[in-house]
């Protein structure tokens, strides 16, 4: 087969049906370059009408890391790159969601961060490690959240990424022969030779039994949810059995609330959200050899430890349960009766809980992210998708010669770790190699 870049010629703008395929296209090997990045100066933001080399859509972990790699390693001029995200600051959603759970340390090891070199986070900690206990915890030297965020801030500051941030939402992407035009929610339009879709899911998983728009019912990842708004002591139920649910329960219990934790399953214990072998050739070689995309989807689904917690978090939960600080209910929710002041949760084990607040820690949708933006792009540019609806891309994460993807949109290429920080770093490696190869071909 041809390289995907050759196979996906620039198409006209007339709508057509998306191309669905079960097979992974063969890829030509990417060129490697030994050229080192040149010195960079902090850029002034260009006028919005200027044509860009790269436009990154998404200002979360993936968008920040990929932008850092393009500027810091691929020698992309800062003036030729912008990041589009509607939040006031980069990583705003990451900070909001991690704060809502009460996370103290990351699940990921210290080499997974938004900076460039693998050990940059440990280097950033420097001498602080000698007099600030708790910066890292074992196993795998997992950093505390405050240190991770401080290091992320330093990466953003050093590379001037906030100066590259356009505070708007991308509404529409139109593929043209020499690039992609992107219409924004602020009525501006940007044009870039290449775009990167670094999109995370914004759709909350909201159980069908849970009432919407009730003042006593919140999803912990819902914009505007503030755990400190709970008056103490409150009787609170948290529904969910994964790490976010357990961390939120431990936080609220520590703040003096009476906490019930409701899970449909027993505590599932795994250090990471998939086996470490998925980060290297041990498991990824078999994934790469599999050309059937439905089989790859099954491998991804089976590999993920959804609704699991690492051993240290489980130990804290076990202690809290044994001490009577958290009440554990292994049951499903049958129904909810909510009045203005109280919510009653009826469980499948026969128990009924009268509550002051009901919190959902049921995660995010696992469906393809991007909503109407991606739906329309698939249709108008005739982009290939697998039966599961996710993009079919090449090794350089190209969905089209002008469009790269990361995160969930790249998981049929990068495997089970594609959505997390490790996946962002692997996407960064692919993107940098591609950028060097394309720059060499332009010369």
Q: What is the mean pLDDT of residues 120-149?
A: 89
Q: What is the mean pLDDT of residues 63-77?
A: 97
Q: Please tell me the total count of domains within the chain.
A: 2
pLDDT of 213 higher than 90: no
Q: Are residue 139 and residue 221 in the same domain, yes or no?
A: no
pLDDT greater at residue 28 or residue 366: 366
Give helix 421-442 / helix 61-72 axis angle, nearest 10°: 40
Q: Are residue 223 and residue 326 in the same domain, yes or no?
A: yes
Residue 410 lies in a domain: yes
- pLDDT band, very low/low/confident/very high, at 72 (cuts 50, 70, 90): very high
Counting every residue, how long is the chain?
Answer: 443
pLDDT of 107 higher than 50: yes
Q: What is the mean pLDDT of residues 5-12?
A: 29
Among 360, 392, 425, residue at a domain's last position = 360
At 10 the pLDDT is: 30
Those residues whose C-beta lies under 8 Å from the C-beta of residue 381, and which sit 6 or more positions away, are 11, 175, 400, 403
Q: What is the mean pLDDT of residues 221-227?
A: 90
Q: What is the mean pLDDT of residues 395-402?
A: 97
pLDDT of 438 higher than 50: yes
- pLDDT band, very low/low/confident/very high, at 147 (cuts 50, 70, 90): very high
Comparing C-alpha atoms, which of 147, 203, 175, 182 is closest to residue 365?
203
Residue 428 lies in a domain: yes
Those residues whose C-beta lies under 8 Å from the C-beta of residue 285, and which sit 6 or more positions away, are none
Q: What is the mean pLDDT of residues 194-223?
A: 94
Q: Are residue 336 and residue 383 in the same domain, yes or no?
A: no
Q: What is the mean pLDDT of residues 60-75?
A: 98
At 50 the pLDDT is: 62
Q: What is the mean pLDDT of residues 280-290?
A: 96
pLDDT of 44 higher than 70: no
pLDDT of 33 higher than 80: no
Tokens of 87: 């939040």
Q: Are residue 51 and residue 198 in the same domain, yes or no?
A: yes
Torsional sign, CA 386, 374, 9, 425: negative
CATH of the domain at 321: 3.50.50.60
Among 318, 336, 360, residue at a domain's last position = 360
Separation of CA 319 from chain center: 31
Least confidently predicted of 25-34, 397-406, 411-420: 25-34
Residue 290 lies in a domain: no
- Per cent of the chain over pLDDT 70 is 89
At 153 the pLDDT is: 98
Q: What is the mean pLDDT of residues 373-394?
A: 97
At 27 the pLDDT is: 54
Q: Are residue 90 and residue 198 in the same domain, yes or no?
A: yes
- Measured CA angle at 284 (ends 423, 93), to 5 deg: 15
Least confidently predicted of 137-141, 185-189, 355-359, 405-409: 137-141
Residue 289 lies in a domain: no
Q: What is the mean pLDDT of residues 230-257?
A: 94
Residue 25 lies in a domain: yes
Q: Are residue 51 and residue 167 in the same domain, yes or no?
A: yes
Residue 352 lies in a domain: yes
Q: Are residue 325 and residue 387 in the same domain, yes or no?
A: no
At 1 the pLDDT is: 35
Among 360, 385, 404, residue at a domain's last position = 360
Q: Are residue 47 and residue 172 in the same domain, yes or no?
A: yes
Those residues whose C-beta lies under 8 Å from the C-beta of residue 282, and which sit 6 or more positions away, are none
- pLDDT band, very low/low/confident/very high, at 228 (cuts 50, 70, 90): confident
pLDDT greater at residue 156 or residue 39: 156
Q: What is the mean pLDDT of residues 26-54?
A: 48
pLDDT, tens digit, 9 for 90 and up, residues 271-284: 999 999 999 999 99
Q: Are residue 8 and residue 96 in the same domain, yes or no?
A: yes
**What average pLDDT does the chain have?**
89
- pLDDT band, very low/low/confident/very high, at 417 (cuts 50, 70, 90): very high
Residue 328 lies in a domain: yes
Q: What is the mean pLDDT of residues 180-193?
A: 97
Q: Are residue 232 and residue 196 in the same domain, yes or no?
A: no
pTM, two decimal places: 0.88
Q: Are residue 190 and residue 70 in the same domain, yes or no?
A: yes
Residue 350 lies in a domain: yes
pLDDT greater at residue 39 or residue 291: 291
Q: Are residue 254 and residue 379 in the same domain, yes or no?
A: no
pLDDT of 5 higher than 60: no
Domain enclosing residue 93, as ranges: 4-203+366-442
């Amino acid at each position: 087969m041809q390289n995907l870049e050759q196979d996906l010629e620039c198409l006209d703008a007339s709508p057509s049906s998306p191309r669905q395929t079960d097979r992974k296209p063969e890829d030509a090997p990417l060129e490697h370059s030994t050229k080192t990045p040149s010195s960079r100066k902090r850029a002034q933001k260009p006028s919005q009408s200027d044509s860009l080399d790269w436009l990154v859509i998404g200002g979360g972990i993936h968008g920040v890391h990929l932008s850092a790699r393009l500027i810091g390693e691929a020698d992309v001029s800062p003036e030729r790159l912008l990041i589009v995200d509607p939040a006031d600051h980069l990583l705003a959603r990451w900070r909001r969601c991690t704060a809502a759970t009460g996370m103290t340390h990351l699940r990921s090891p210290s080499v997974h961060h938004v900076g460039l070199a693998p050990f940059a986070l440990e280097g950033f900690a420097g001498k602080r490690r000698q007099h600030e206990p708790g910066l890292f915890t074992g196993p795998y030297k997992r950093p505390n959240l405050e240190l991770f965020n401080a290091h992320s801030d330093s990466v953003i500051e050093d590379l001037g990424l906030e100066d590259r941030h356009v505070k708007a939402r991308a509404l529409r992407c139109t593929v043209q022969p020499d690039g992609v035009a992107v219409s924004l929610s602020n009525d501006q339009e940007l044009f870039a030779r290449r775009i990167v879709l670094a999109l995370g899911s914004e759709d909350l998983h909201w159980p069908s039994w849970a009432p919407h728009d009730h003042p006593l019912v919140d999803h912990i990842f819902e914009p505007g949810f503030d755990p400190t708004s709970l008056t103490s002591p409150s009787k609170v139920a948290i529904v969910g059995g994964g790490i976010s649910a357990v961390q939120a329960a431990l936080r609220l219990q520590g703040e003096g609330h009476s906490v019930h934790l409701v899970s449909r399953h027993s505590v599932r214990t795994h250090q990471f959200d998939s086996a470490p072998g998925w980060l290297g050739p041990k498991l990824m070689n078999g994934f790469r050899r599999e050309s059937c995309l439905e089989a790859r989807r099954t491998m991804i689904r089976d590999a993920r430890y959804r609704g699991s917690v690492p051993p240290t978090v489980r130990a804290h939960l076990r202690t809290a349960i044994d001490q009577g600080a958290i009440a554990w209910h292994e049951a499903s929710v049958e129904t909810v009766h909510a009045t203005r002041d109280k919510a009653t949760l009826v469980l499948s084990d026969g128990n009924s809980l009268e509550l002051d607040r009901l919190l959902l820690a049921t995660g995010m949708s696992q469906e393809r992210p991007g909503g109407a933006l991606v739906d329309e792009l698939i249709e108008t540019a005739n982009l290939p998708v697998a039966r599961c609806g996710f993009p079919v891309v090449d090794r350089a994460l190209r969905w089209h010669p002008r469009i790269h993807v990361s995160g969930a949109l790249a998981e049929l290429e990068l495997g089970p770790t594609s959505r997390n920080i490790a996946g962002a770093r692997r996407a960064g490696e692919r993107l940098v190699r591609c950028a060097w190869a394309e720059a060499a071909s332009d010369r």
